[in-house]
Amino acid sequence: MKNYLGRKSALSALAGMALVLVGCGESQQETDIEANAQAIQSHLEFLASDLLEGRDTGSQEHEIASAYIAAEFQQMGLEPAGTEGFYQRVPLRTARITPDSQKFTIHQSSGENVELVYPRDFLMGPSVFENESTVTAPLVFVGYGMVSDKFDINDYANLDVEGAIVVMLSGLPDGLPSEEAAHLNSIKTQLAVERGAVGIVSIHTPKRAETRPYERMIFYANAPRVRWVAPNGEPQNAYPEIKGAATINYEVADALFSEVALQPEQIWQQMDEGERPVGMPLGLTVTLEKSSTYEDMDSPNVIAMLPGSDPELKDEYIIYTAHSDHIGPVRSVEGPEEFNNGAMDNASGVSIMLETARMFSDLAASGQRPKRSILFAAVTAEERGLLGADYFANNPTVPIENIVANVNLDMPVLLYTFADVVAFGANHSSLNSAVSTAAEKFSITSSPDPMPEEALFTRSDHYTLVKQGIPSVFLMTGFNSQVEGEDAGAIWHQFLREQYHRPTDEVSTLTEVYGGIRYGAAATFTNINFEIGKTVANAQERPTWNEDSYFGQVFAGDENSIRH
């Protein structure tokens, strides 16, 4: 670990380099405005350096990253669009579990009690509401715990779960569109609360363990739980009605079904055959207990604006988003402290957004200011649950109904010279046309989602704006390469397997393993995202949801528009 004076000197040098690189050009004609690969490199190497120690939400190092971003916006001549200059501070509550306080007790009809062992048998996170949490209630199995009129699903049919702890299967059933299924999966707790449940036990099934082993979940068992806090002091996207929640290893699931004929092995078989297990009362009572500590803090979104030129359309906005946080340091019991520097996740996305902002600033200086206004938001706490973006979506600094589109930049994997892009969300709205046109301009094709099972459309910051009815697009580098013999898909998956959310997602390791970050490809990726925003900003009509879009129907109503 470098000493403090060395860190301070390097910080100043890197910041100065970035200011020189980004500010070196004179105003250009629109046709000459292109992304500067060296500027992207400068931003990325600073944001992903050990100096910033992984940019953990609430840390001083994330504050430094935020100050750097705000300074870049300022020197570009962009207007502050936060609540305190460029800043919108997000109030947060961070909760941690008290070690050895977790208890999972099964009360059998015979009067005997069975104690599950933490963390081998079950996992339990902290409460953001109470220091001491205890609940004793009967168990009711509710299958996957999903409800959808559109897909004719009701796992709660004929079940009374008022005052009960519901037992549900983790993951998703087969046969549903991946993005829609991911949305339904995200509201399982809400569905249980609406039906009166007081606790949730999720079974980590064998099917789920194939893609996310239970042992990997144990590794993150002590991670804090973070929620943003409303003005009334209540944490949001959390439910005080749920007094206890746990995830159990499928290897001990038999203990929950000891009083009924249905056994876990039958459930696993039903899942493998594509059947939906039917719920039932389990004839047992369970006690869930834990102790938690929590503290309140805040962390900044950094937001800037380029005002539009059209007298009417300038009050409408396109917003670019990129999360500035990452997951901070790793403290190994045996080894030294290491930093999860997040070069690809998401120093790359922030760097591309900063260069996109510079390009729009130069466009305006050339006399070709876009008709609509452009917002640029470096949001915090994405890694803690999309919290900074969700706070902005619920506390916007401009009228939410006037935000017409979102372009999200999250973890473009810039380790190969991509020949195609994947535009998550484009198939749901008229943004698809803007994406295709922008990609074609740079001889890049637009490909369908190569990993629909991952449901990436619901897993980044743009989704919080989708839930406000705003059409959004989230670009990923595709799985085709312009270099003969280069397997881009294999590189992408290798990164996900070996570097994602690990200390090895840092510049020197990526250079060693992959031969360097492809900053030329980063410039192309920036150019495409710039063209998307420019096209939408200058279009006469605002983007619309497709009539058959599930998300348009759920979040924007039946009128095929954002708010009309």
Report the half-sphere exposure of 301 (CA within 13 A, side-chain side).
31
pLDDT at residue number 95? 96
Q: Options 3.30.2400.10, 3.40.50.10470, 3.50.30.30, 3.30.2130.30; which CATH number does 95-294 get? A: 3.50.30.30
**Strand-pair category, 165-169 with 199-204:** parallel
Instruction: Give the DSSP H/E element, type plus range, for residue 74.
Output: helix 60-75
| From-to residues of CATH 3.50.30.30 in the chain | 95-294
Kindly report the CA angle at 82 between 76 and 85, in degrees rounded to 5? 65
pLDDT at residue number 483? 96
pLDDT at residue number 182? 87
Segments of the chain scoring below 70 in pLDDT: 1-31, 331-335, 557-564
pLDDT at residue number 331? 63
| From-to residues of CATH 3.40.630.10 in the chain | 4-92+298-414+421-440+452-477+535-556
Residue 277 phi, psi dihedral angles, 5° rounding: -60, 140
- Nearest of 159, 267, 158, 147 to residue 203 by alpha carbon: 267
In order of 375, 513, 529, the CA distances from 73 in angstroms are 11, 33, 18
pLDDT at residue number 21? 42
Distance CA 450, CA 436 (A): 17
Would you call 114 helix, strand, or coil by DSSP? Answer: strand
Token digits for 133?
């949490």
The 10 Å CB-count burial string (b at 16+, else e) for 435-450 is bbebbeeeebebbebe
pLDDT at residue number 31? 53
Distance CA 446, CA 421 (A): 5
Distance CA 229, CA 236 (A): 6
pLDDT at residue number 332? 52
CATH 3.40.50.300 fits 4-92+298-414+421-440+452-477+535-556, yes or no: no
**Strand-pair category, 199-204 with 244-249:** parallel
